[in-house]
Amino acid sequence: MLEKHKMDRINELARASKARALDENEKAEQAALRAEYLEKFREGFKAQLEQIEIVDAPGPESCPDARRKRKN
């Protein structure tokens, strides 16, 4: 997860962009922070998805081959 001070800065820049036009430095900072946020979000989401186990009612656990390989 992204550090609190970075999340606060993202929110501060978002509020500022609604009130006024951001200068080029602020726009670049906002884009960099958003990219970092999305990267961290995707990493966390991927980790969550890898923990999901699908179990069929009549049969054993079935999981993607890639996950099965990582377990071994």
Residue extents of the structural domains in the chain: 4-71
Confidence of residue 72 (pLDDT cuts 50, 70, 90): low
Please give the average per-residue pLDDT across 5-34, as a whole number: 96
Angstrom distance (rounded) from CA 58 to CA 27: 54
pLDDT of amino acid 58: 56
Pick the CATH number of 4-71 from 3.40.1710.10, 3.30.160.20, 3.90.1170.50, 1.10.287.540: 1.10.287.540
> What pLDDT does 65 receive?
65
String of DSSP letters for 7-66 = HHHHHHHHHHHHHS---HHHHHHHHHHHHHHHHHHHHHHHHHHHT--EE-SSS-EE--HH
Instruction: With a cut of 80, say whether residue 17 has pLDDT above it.
Output: yes
* Interval 37-62 mean pLDDT: 81
pLDDT at 61: 56
d(CA 43, CA 26): 26
Structure tokens at 63: 């999981």
Alpha-carbon distance of 34 to 37, in angstroms, equals 5
